[in-house]
Amino acid sequence: MLKLKQGNEANHRDGTLLDISKDILDNLAEVIYMHNPYPTREEYDRVAQSLINKNPSLREPGSGNGWYGWKFSLKFKMSNFRQKLRIEEEFTRLTSVDLKRSLFDGLEQYLPRLLDVYRAKSGIMGLTRQIRLLDDNNQSGKIPTQLKRNLPESPKLDLLEQDSKDSAQSNSTSLSQEANNGFAETDNKGFGIGELVWGKIKGFSWWPGMVVSWHATGKRQASPGMRWLQWFGDGKFSEVSADKLDSFIAFPKYYSHTSYSKMASYKRAVFQALEMASRRAGKTFGSSEMNSSEDEMKPLLEWANGGFEPKGEEGLRPKENAEQMVNDVLNNSQSIEDFCIACGKTKVATFHPLFEGGLCQACKDTYLEISYMYDDDGYQSYCTVCCGGDEVLLCGNENCCRCFCVGCLDTLVGPGASENAKELDPWRCYMCQPSEKFGALKKRHDWSIKLQEFFVNDNGQEFEAPKLYPAVPAEERKPIRVLSLFDGIATGYLVLKDLGIKVDHYIASEVCEDSIAVGAVRHEGRITYVHDVEEWGPFDLVIGGSPCNDLSIVNPARKGLYEGTGRLFFEFYRLLSAAKPKEGEDRPFFWMFENVVAMGVNDKRDISRFLECNPVMIDAIEVSAAHRARYFWGNLPGMNRPLCASGMDKLALQDCLEHGRIAKFGKVRTITTRSNSIKQGKDQHFPVLMNGKEDVLWCTELERIFGFPVHYTDLSNMGRGARQKLLGRSWSVPVIRHLFAPLKDYFACE
């Protein structure tokens, strides 16, 4: 590349560095794949090292060897490249298969899979999560309203099977246990939701279908003794008497060879029913994809006529669902703690933090990932119960930012609950109403404790307990030596001084000039800002929180942990490793790393694997007037102890306002760098009243909310927007004080 050649020449002259990583990585991945699709760690090292040796203009600034981050970016790019090839191959295969058959037959069979692959090909945010929601949506084929923001328009799919594939983030977890029965109506005639059946209506012969929820039909509830069926072949719905239904296991009794030979619609219906049955039973017939040709249908028909061996009727049963769960809890006296209240599965991995009931592994991963994901209106992006939903209802309590999906209301609370809620204005959600039971939904009385415990106990990986350092006798304590990476506005230094801990030296690395100005002026030059921190040390405390833009799932263009600003985490890890005491060096050493809660589960687990510990989740709402949930990794003593407010903490918004101004809300939502994060509620109100008019939060009020001294960021002619950006990227002072307080037992104090 000419640009690369010129860059190397410029680097030789004056040390200029290039930023063309995307083009380089794309080309490298393609070349490497041709030689070895799955390189070893050593091969990645050699490629990255060779790249920098031959092209010094690509060297990473601030990196010890110049190529460390390239290795991780290359590994991530290779994974994406392999996935891209698989998707392209699948897309081509599916479209070519469709062309071999009649258009409508092909679309009817392959459209669901084709849509999934199209979404993957388009690189849409949260692909795995969104496809899982589409597949698990009670066979209704309705695309959740939240997903419509991100997905292209697609035809309505009237027949979607709930398969057993869960999120890729939990693909190692076995969730294949099937339900004992579908949801049985109270008339005791059987045929629960999801069951494959033969049905008969006047004027038609016996036809294969599936029992579905009345929600899926978009109509009313079935009359007593009746069931809603969705017919295979055309996907239409009919209300059928339970007396005119029989189990699909009776295939030899109702299958008509004459109709199969003469009617294309019957042939298509039988094929679809057998395809779904084989998928449920895990039965394969040698071919990677089944077509409805005679050669492919023959083994299916033989299997069906032979009694669907080896699993028989057991293999045809539907997967667990929420409606079946509610029936078992309310009518069969089973404990709701034995069910996942988000999807109805019985393989429970943990408890639901807010309501009585459990969560399966897939729903747990989803909850961890997006429960703290908020839209621009300040409300949760997804349902408080299931972190999904077709349509959501927003709580009318001005101090609440939760939403509940129509599906959870009508299933867990009771049929028609969503319509009743829509008629109420304002409607108060089940977290804001008195603690009583609504159908099968009951708020935990200790939900705030359980919520903290839920994140603390997310031990997806087991690590050795961090080394515990004994407290240092008072006469032997020395001033602390601190390395702060991505220092921001020196929150760490401010808290250490507030706690009275003597600071020997505080070495900070920061690139934002406004942030440096705040730290330099407010702390009168006692912070040393450097670009290359490796020549400083030793350190007693290493802290940092790398930029979250490429990690937060709120950002649809995020690049993840191994590319963009995400890979700056590895700079923290590298410098942390270098700062740790050497073998035989017996001295207390502490560290802390911070980042957002709304990150991908895989990114979180990768960070934990490198840092060799699981994070604790702390929300500043307990000690301030604003939400601010963050993950903290580290070995600080007592990191997971309960968060308690002190007398100096301002817990209500009114306590943070200037004289004559009135708070409209008790607390505010998470304040970010974006100006509209100040607005509250579904009607986007400003949070303050002054002279009878709504007003924004002033900068001094924002500083109080975060726990900073008034006018802390008021310098260098910075405007309101610039000051909010500094605060929006900072840590909450009361939270850091909570984490740093135990250090007083180890270092000299004033």
Active site residues: 548
CA angle 133, 138, 143 (to 5 degrees): 45
Nearest partner of 551 among 540, 564, 541, judged by Cα = 564
Give me 381's structure tokens. 């992006």
CB 283 within 8 A of CB 290: no
Half-sphere exposure of 343 (CA within 13 A, CB side): 31
Say if residue 288 is exposed, middle or buried (CB neighbours under 10 Å; 0-12, 13-18, 19+).
exposed
| Parallel, antiparallel or unpaired: strands 350-351 and 527-529 | unpaired
- For residues 621 and 624, what is the distance between their CA atoms, to the nearest angstrom? 5
CB 204 within 8 A of CB 187: no
Give me 678's structure tokens. 């100040």
Give me 659's structure tokens. 């004289």
- For residues 665 and 667, what is the distance between their CA atoms, to the nearest angstrom? 5
- For residues 188 and 374, what is the distance between their CA atoms, to the nearest angstrom? 43
- For residues 112 and 156, what is the distance between their CA atoms, to the nearest angstrom? 10
CB 69 within 8 A of CB 567: yes
Three-state DSSP at 556 gives coil
- For residues 643 and 282, what is the distance between their CA atoms, to the nearest angstrom? 49
Q: Would you report the helix, strand and coil content of the chain in percent, each value rounded to 5?
A: 40, 15, 45
Cα–Cα separations (whole angstroms), residue 542 to 578, 630, 702, 729: 11, 18, 27, 19
Give the count of beta carbons closer than 10 Å to the beta carbon of residue 640: 17
CB 540 within 8 A of CB 588: yes
CB 139 within 8 A of CB 212: yes
Half-sphere exposure of 172 (CA within 13 A, CB side): 4
Distance of CA 745 to the CA centre of its chain: 38
Intra-chain end-to-end CA distance of the chain, in Å? 59
Three-state DSSP at 573 gives helix
Give me 578's structure tokens. 């270098």
- For residues 60 and 83, what is the distance between their CA atoms, to the nearest angstrom? 27
CA angle 510, 732, 531 (to 5 degrees): 10
